[in-house]
Amino acid sequence: MANVLELRDVSFVRNGNRILDQLSWSVDEADRWVVLGPNGAGKSTILQLAAAATHPTSGTIDVLGERVGKVDVFELRTRIGLAATGLARRIPAAERVGDVVLTAAYAVTGRWHERYESLDLERAAEVMDAWDLAPLANRPFGTLSDGERKRVQIARAVMTDPELMLLDEPAGSLDLGARESLLASLEEYASSSLAPAIVMVTHHVEEIPPGFTHGMLLREGRIVAAGPLDSVLTDAHLTETFGLGLEVAHDGGRWSARATR
């Protein structure tokens, strides 16, 4: 199995704040990781580093066999799928959903003068189907619900057939129905042997899709626990991560947590 992501002693310092502190972590191509932790723990920063969107202050990062800082990051970024809220804000409200997904093949937003190959059109149709977006193909992006927007973002990332998929709170702000339906889609995507390595950030254990294999718990820029989900999601680890007494339950492939009574 090949290593798709390797962080060694990575620290990230901004304005004198140590946002990540001596983090070491590796992700294998068959892994589906969830990164869990409270707000401000450094989860999104890890994803930005994994996406080669920013550089560590110290330590080394290898993504898809390339050392960040030593290779052409533009080339490297075309091999990484990233779905994060910040990117959604850059999508023009008037752009049709079909074009939002299609233009991912060209790493742009806004359909201007690119010429699309029929292969790309076929692939876009396939991805739209898989993420239940076909009925929305002609809708302007700005008219979609939060849940629909999240699906479009993920479909846009899937469209490029990445070797590493990074999802930052894909189920954040969704209502119960939209969350459950997105989790079912993520479960299906993650279960395919063709799917890339996946790292998904969340702060709720309820949002972990069945089939995810590994977990990292993060608190104030440090790893509390990392490894196979069963060994990581314990009462003691969650309690330490979130700073209050928690008990965790695992049933039918799904996780839940509540304050200790």
Ligand X SMILES: Nc1ncnc2c1ncn2[C@@H]1O[C@H](COP(=O)(O)OP(=O)(O)O)[C@@H](O)[C@H]1O
Is residue 14 a contact point for ligand X (CB under 6 A)? yes
C-alpha–C-alpha distance, residues 62 and 169, integer Å: 23
Q: Which residues contact 29 (CB under 8 A, 6 or more apart)?
A: 1, 2, 3, 4, 163, 196, 197
Q: Of the candidates 44, 103, 202, 239, which one interacts with Mg ion according to CB under 5 A?
A: 44
CB of 14 vs ligand X, minimal distance in Å: 3
Alpha helices in the chain (DSSP H): 43-50, 73-77, 85-88, 97-102, 118-130, 146-159, 176-191, 229-232, 235-242
Is residue 41 a contact point for ligand X (CB under 6 A)? yes
Q: Show contacts with Mg ion in window 136-165 (CB under 5 A).
A: none
CB of 73 vs ligand X, minimal distance in Å: 17
C-alpha–C-alpha distance, residues 195 and 162, integer Å: 9
Q: How many CB atoms lie within 10 A of CB 250?
A: 13
Q: Which does 162 bind (CB under 5 to 8 A by kind): ligand X, Mg ion, none?
A: none
Piece of the chain touching ligand X by CB under 6 A; list 34-42, 68-76, 82-90, 250-258? 34-42
Is residue 233 a contact point for ligand X (CB under 6 A)? no
- Give Dmax (Cα) for the chain: 60
Is residue 202 a contact point for Mg ion (CB under 5 A)? no
CB of 33 vs Mg ion, minimal distance in Å: 15
Residues that bind ligand X (CB under 6 A): 14-15, 17, 19, 37, 39-45
